[in-house]
Structure 1
Amino acid sequence: MYASCYLVCYGIAQWESRVNGLDLKDKNLVGTISPNIRNLSFLRSLNLAINSFYGRIPSEAGHLIRLQSLNLSYNSLEGEILVNLSHCSNLMYLGLQYNHLVQQIPSELGSLSKLKNLYLANNQLSGKFSPSMRNLFSLQYLWLDLGIALPNLQKLAMAGNKFTGSIPSALSNASNFQEIDIPTNYFTENIPLEFGNLRNLTWLNANRNLFGNYSVDDLSFLRLLTNCNQLQTLDISYNRLGGSLLPEVGNLNTFVYLDISFNKFFKEIPAELGDCLGLEALYVQGNFFEGTIPDLSKLRGVQYLDLSHNNLTGQIPNYMVSFSMLINLNLSINNLEGEVPIQGVFRNATIIEVYGNNGLCGGIQELQLRTRSNKHRNRVVFKLILAIGIPAFSVVVLSLISLC
């Protein structure tokens, strides 16, 4: 093990052995990867993940033609992805995620016909994808992106890069897709309608991109997602989506997690959301929703409910008192009015947030809201006077009439 470490870190050319596996994962190693790695010509598996290697990946790695698994993830490697990794024609696993790699994905990687797992997320990769990537017929897990004509692909993850352009609609050809995770990039245009053909999809995370044009057609894909009857997680927050939230969202009754926050949705929140009975987390904050809070009383298992930073009006619905599973309820920065309940979850100030609603009053003391206003009390007194005074006045008038 020490000899292996010494070779990889410092380049001992004289060390020779028919080693076919080298696992130095998470060994606190620091330095560059030596070009003398080419001497390990019988190597089939090399794992240097979770260390502090820096610099470029040595081109000599492309000479390890017997290599089946190469994991260099979670380091500080720089430069471009090696073109000559395509010479490692037996590669089935390539892990380069969480480094500082730049530029485009080499088109030559499309020749790795045996590759099943490709992990490239959380680098600084840019540009568009080469059509040659569609030749990766064996690919099952892609932590980055693509799908084009990869029928066996099940998971797609490409978070935290700088990819641009539109998502290819041909991704839907990968009918076995279960998870699409493409957040924190610069993807534009619309989320493909064809995603509605992915019947096995359980997870779609497209947050923090540039999807949409703040137009009424931005959510057209949502109608077809109702075909994805296993979809549990949808996160399209922090994009440029606009229009009103479609009532069809209620047909996605397998939802567990829905986040549409920080877009430009307007009009009312559809009451059909209340039909998503399995929802545990619902985030709609940071939009332009208006009107009263709809009937969501059937969401008995909801744990996180954020309706803040909108233009909602009316009172806090009484049914929220019975949301016993709540961990956080955020109704702040709206135009709500009336008394805040003091029963149920509203007895715990660490769970609820209601600040920034000038019309709210009452509630438990920890919320530091104003008490019921004098104006409100005056209205109540006036109503009592009317209720008591008018009958009394009628009795007096009748008495005077009888005296006449």
Structure 2
Amino acid sequence: MARLVGIYSMMNKLLIVVIIVAEISRIFSIEDNPSKVFVVELNKLLVNNKISDDYCIDERIFCDNDQISIVNLEAVNISRFPVEIIIIKDTLKSLTITYENLKDNIPDEIYKLTELEYLNLEGNKFSGSLSDNIKNLIKLSYLNLNGSNLSGPIPDGLYSLSRLQFLILKDNKFDGSLNDNIKCLDKLSYLDLNGSSLSGSIPDGLYSLTELEYLNLQGSKFNGGLSDKIRDMNKLLALDLSGSNLSGPIPDGLYSLTELRYLNLQRSKFNGGLSDKIRDMNKLLSLDLSGSNISGPIPDGLYSLTELRYLNLQENRFDGGLNDKIRDLNKLLYLDLSGSNISGSIPDGLYSLTKLEYLYLMGNSINGTLSPKIGNMIRLTSLNLSFNQLSGTIPNEIGDLINLKDLEMRDNEFEGNIPDLSRLEFLVNMNISSTKHILNASCDNKTLPPYITKNRCFIAPVNRLCNSTIHCEYSNKPVGKSSIGSMFYTPILKMVVMMIVCRGVIETERFIEG
């Protein structure tokens, strides 16, 4: 019995020794493997969803020969910036830490990751500026600091990252100007400075980035004119200068960018006319010149852009009317000419745009009658003809536009009967009024859009008040000329416009990135 006890005691001692040796071996194994050390330290920062010992199979980690080469921490709820990342600096090629609400300065450890090729710190809340030590990351091809709350000037060191292909600095608080040394980033294909608060003139160096396919300077504070040297950027697919302080005439060089699919000059301060040379930009899918102070006639060349899906020319000062050649823009989904000083009658060609979903002609001097051919535009979901001088009867074919959600025909000179609109099951907003004539109301609920409500439907002036109707509000009071700004559904219209613009941008970005 005593012998058995002795053997049992010896076995316990041996087991303890084995456990100790195994633990010591594990510790030394970790210390010999930087990737394992980093994972141990990273797990201390993760609030939940820790990384297992077999870290190479974790979706946030990618390994090359058991050493971590990619770290992807996207909205993982981390308590602070993992400065321990420096442990794997010799193998780390890609680092993503996005939308973690990280604060304070970007830590110095970032600038020591000299093997990095990809760095994405989007959507954090850093303070301070970007260090000139960014120049140490000489292998970077992708840098995304979008919405990172950075301020101060763009450091000279950034311009030495000559391998960069993608640079995204949008929605920060940078100050000062863009250095001419940006010409050193001659491999850039994608540059986004949207909302970055940069000012001064656009340096000539920018125009030498001839590999660029996407350039976004939206909402910048650049001033002066757009140089004719922009013609050198002939690989551009998307150009956004909207909301900038750029002024002067549109240079001829812009029209030579024949690969462009997306051009946005909205709310810029250009002046003068639109050149007929715009016909050369025949690959355009989206063109937004709204609020750009453009004058003169709409050039025939515009009607040659037969690939257009989106065309916004609102709030300019054009002369004359629409050409029947508009029929050639037969792929259009969205057309906005509101407040653009358009006169004359609606050409038949407009009614042949049967793919249109949004048509806005409000606030012009359009006269003549509305053709029954409008019934061909069956895909329309929003139609606004308000504040014009359209006359005659409203064609019954309006009732064939069964996809309509918004119908605005306010402040025209219509007369006669209100058409049967009972098939417009999706219509939720309607305003029809005449400034010169009394309209004939049928007072029959069955002829009104079935799901519209009184607070969204208005017809005036009418020959009788139709108090029995439940779907629409009628008035027998004369309608005076109103200002466009008092439009009944302006907020809804603006919302639709913004949604379409955003959709156009997103689809174009996907197209480019794909």
**Structure 1 length-normalised TM:** 0.78
CA distance in 1, matches of 2:184, 2:43: 36
Matched, 1:112 2:161: yes
Deviations 1:51-99 (A, max 9, x none): 3223432344222222211101123334433322122111110001233
Instruction: Assess if the C-alpha contact under 8 Å between 1:91 and 1:112 holds in 2.
Output: yes
After TM superposition, the structure 1 = structure 2 runs for residues 18-29 of structure 1, keeping only pairs within 5 Å, are: 19-29=68-78
What CA distance in whole angstroms lies between the structure 1 residues aligned with 2:192 and 2:177? Answer: 16
1:41 aligns with 2:89: yes
Look up the equivalent residue of 2:256 and give its one-letter code. N
* Distance change in 2, residues 1:307/1:300 (3 Å): same
Per the alignment, do residues 280 and 332 of structure 1 end up closer, same or farther by CA in structure 2, a change over 3 Å counting?
A: same
Residue 218 of structure 1 aligns with which residue? Answer: 273
Could you say what secondary structure the match of 2:307 adopts? coil
Paired residue for 1:316? 370
Aligned residue for 2:253, secondary structure, equals helix
Contact residue 122 and residue 158 of structure 1 kept, 8 A: no
- Measured against aligned partners, the alpha-carbon deviations of 1:169-188 in whole angstroms (never above 9, x if no partner) come to 33332222111133333333
2:439 to 332, 348, 371: 371
1:275 to partner: Cα distance: 2.1
Q: Is contact 1:233-1:255 (8 Å) kept?
A: yes
1:150-177 residue CA offsets vs partner (Å, 9 max, x unmatched): 2222122333444444334333322221
Unaligned ranges ≥5, structure 2: 1-38, 48-65, 195-201, 422-429, 442-462, 464-514
Contact 1:324-1:344 at 8 Å conserved across structures: no
Superposed CA RMSD: 3.0
Among 232, 238, 247, the residue aligned to 2:291: 238
Task: Give the superposition deviation at 1:254.
Answer: 2.0
User: How far, CA to CA, are the matches of 2:416 and 2:151 in structure 1?
Assistant: 54
Size of the alignment, in residue pairs? 360
- Residue 338 of structure 1 aligns to a residue whose secondary structure is strand
Distance (Å, rounded) in 2 between the aligned partners of 1:90 and 1:281: 43
Aligned match of 2:316 in 260, 263, 284?
Answer: 263
Structure 1 residue 277 displacement after superposition: 2.1
Instruction: For residue 126 of structure 1, report the CA deviation from its aligned partner.
Output: 4.8
Query: What does 1:73-84 align with in structure 2 at a 5 Å threshold?
Result: 73-84=122-133
Contact 1:126–1:164 (8 Å) recurs in 2: no
Q: Which amino acid aligns with 1:4?
A: L
> Conserved in 1, the CA contact under 8 Å of 2:151 and 2:173?
yes
1:87 aligns to what? 136
For 2:220 and 2:73, locate their aligned partners in 1 and report how far apart those are by CA, in whole Å.
Answer: 27
In 1, Cα distance between equivalents of 2:99 and 2:138: 25
2:385 paired residue number: 331
Provide Cα deviations, 1:339-366, integer angstroms capped at 9, x if missing partner. Answer: 2122255565634211122545533476
1:103 deviates by 4.4
* Matching residue's letter, 1:143: D
| Helix, strand or coil at the partner of 1:176 | coil
The alpha-carbon distance between structure 1 residues 362 and 48, as it changes in their structure 2 partners (threshold 3 A), is: farther
Q: Quick check: 2:46–2:78 contact (8 Å CA) kept in 1?
A: no
Q: SS at the partner of 2:302? A: helix
> Which range moved further: 286-295 or 110-119?
286-295
**5+ residue gaps, structure 1:** 10-16, 378-404
Asked if structure 1 preserves the Cα contact closer than 8 Å seen for 2:46 and 2:76, the reply is no
In structure 2, the partner of 1:281 is 334
The one-letter code sitting in structure 1 at the alignment partner of 2:372 is N
- SS across alignment from 2:374: helix
Aligned partners of 1:342, 1:55: CA distance in 2, in Å? 65
- The more displaced of 71-80 and 17-26 is 17-26
User: Where do residues 97-246 of structure 1 align in structure 2 (5 Å cutoff)?
Assistant: 97-144=146-193, 147-210=206-269, 212-213=270-271, 217-220=272-275, 223-246=276-299
Cα offsets for 1:113-142 (capped at 9, x unmatched): 111111122334454421111111211122
1:373-392 → structure 2 map (5 Å cutoff): none
Shift of 1:276: 1.6
Per-residue CA deviations over 1:35-57 (Å, capped at 9, x if unaligned) read 66555533322101233223432
Q: Which amino acid aligns with 1:332?
A: S
Match of residue 65 from structure 1? 114
Q: For residue 397 of structure 1, what is the aligned residue in structure 2?
A: none
Q: Equivalents in 2 of 1:18, 1:157: separation in Å? A: 37
Equivalent residues of 1:69, 1:92 under 8 A apart? yes
Q: Secondary structure at the match of 1:54?
A: coil
Q: What is the identity percentage for the equivalent residue pairs of Structure 1 and Structure 2? A: 26
Distance 1:128 1:357, change over 3 A: farther
